[in-house]
Structure 1
């Protein structure tokens, strides 16, 4: 059968840019007298550790259906960051007689006869271990931050994060979508007095009915604002600044 090429491009997050992948692949195609219009492009955003990638799975299905003779990728880590996923891809290409071309890295081809496979397996294993180490470092950093009393994750309504620590937002920038701590207090007091969630949220800057009702119906969270009490020491330290 005549040669039929595909390329796979993956970025992990919306903030990442895949232009460098596309540019390097275009250079490779130019050097092999191919145009991007002659190649089927599979491109997506997703974690290399996830097997639930639509374009990745679609490409494997096409490979196993003998659609392609060659697949071009930027580097092995774009295929997968878990060993068993990389192995699945390599096995599918090997069984279908597909050559994998890699534009960047210490190996440039993985051929169906097994040439280059050993090095690719090692590279994939290293990428998987790097991911595991990153996860371990991230978790360790999170533990240290929690032990130091720092707030991780989404900041609750009416609060701000200052140098990593939770603080009541007493000077909100409404134009930036912030809600003040005292705004939330006043809103909860209005609900307690009998006003509806809709009416109260409508006059409270940057707070939705859903957020207001969620806070009000959660005994612990409601106490943060109305009683300046909290089971979470990080929140207690923050609201204690107002308990004078």
Structure 2
């Protein structure tokens, strides 16, 4: 490689904040070591965010810096880390080509995309395949969500005092306090006490795994209150769960 130390950029992306990127960093470190470089010697652009988002801050900054002629070489783990939309990948390829910068891919069938076009066609196909995989994943996810709703399954955060059993909502009548669960009957007792004049703070202190904010939110939401005090709900999934109390 003919680039100087200050002319190499590394882009690392993970989709979610909780995801790890060590596998990317390890591969890239190995590539750098083979070229007598260290991760601290190069321009590093790490971020978390969807590969379909065209406004990723580090991605945008890298493109600006490439267009400004700051780099002659850009290292990424694989093509999908650049983008999961074909147009975004092509924008990146165009920026590098116009700036005469070489793209190095440490994990993939294409290892370089050069300004003369070498590797670009196959890299573009890989980017389009990644984009299609993303579209298929979205379709499968949406289909699964629609099916779950149709079956009456509960999606999203489980309300206080309930548990999810095989996808269905149920009142938690035997809470595991050590695991952080809250009990349905504990909530009933707490809300009755608040209705009789006890404060949120006092009630929360004696109710396992229930916060003042949770009690306040329920108390100020008549629909939610009716779940606990009247065993009545407008949501058919919640009502089905409450019906089990009288079975």
Q: How far apart are 1:47 and its partner, in Å?
A: 1.4
CA distance in structure 2 between the partners assigned to 1:243 and 1:88 by the alignment: 61
Is the CA contact (8 Å cut-off) linking 2:170 and 2:242 kept in structure 1? Answer: yes
* Cross-structure match for 1:37: 40
Matches within 5 A, 1:171-186: 171-186=174-189
Q: How far apart are 1:31 and its partner, in Å?
A: 2.6
* Cross-structure match for 2:233: 230
RMSD of aligned Cα (Å)? 1.7
CA distance in structure 2 between the partners assigned to 1:84 and 1:223 by the alignment: 50
TM-score (normalizing by structure 2) = 0.92
Match of 1:160 among 160, 163, 167: 163
Matches within 5 A, 1:1-244: 3=4, 4-243=7-246
Is the CA contact (8 Å cut-off) linking 1:158 and 1:182 kept in structure 2? Answer: yes
CA distance in structure 2 between the partners assigned to 1:175 and 1:197 by the alignment: 22
CA distance in structure 2 between the partners assigned to 1:181 and 1:225 by the alignment: 7
- Note closer, same or farther for the CA distance 1:91–1:141 as it changes in structure 2 (3 Å cut): same
5+ long unaligned stretches in structure 2 = none
More divergent stretch after superposition (201-210 vs 162-171): 201-210
More divergent stretch after superposition (95-104 vs 41-50): 41-50
Structure 1 residues 191-241: Cα deviation after superposition (integer angstroms, max 9, x where no partner):
211222222222222212221111112121111111111111111111111
Matched residue count: 244
More divergent stretch after superposition (160-169 vs 170-179): 170-179
Q: How far apart are 1:36 and its partner, in Å?
A: 2.7
Q: SS where residue 229 of structure 1 aligns?
A: coil
5+ long unaligned stretches in structure 1 = none
CA distance in structure 1 between the partners assigned to 2:246 and 2:199 by the alignment: 28
Q: How far apart are 1:2 and its partner, in Å?
A: 5.1
CA distance in structure 2 between the partners assigned to 1:195 and 1:117 by the alignment: 69
CA distance in structure 2 between the partners assigned to 1:37 and 1:242 by the alignment: 61
Is the CA contact (8 Å cut-off) linking 2:3 and 2:73 kept in structure 1? Answer: no
Q: SS where residue 234 of structure 2 aligns?
A: coil
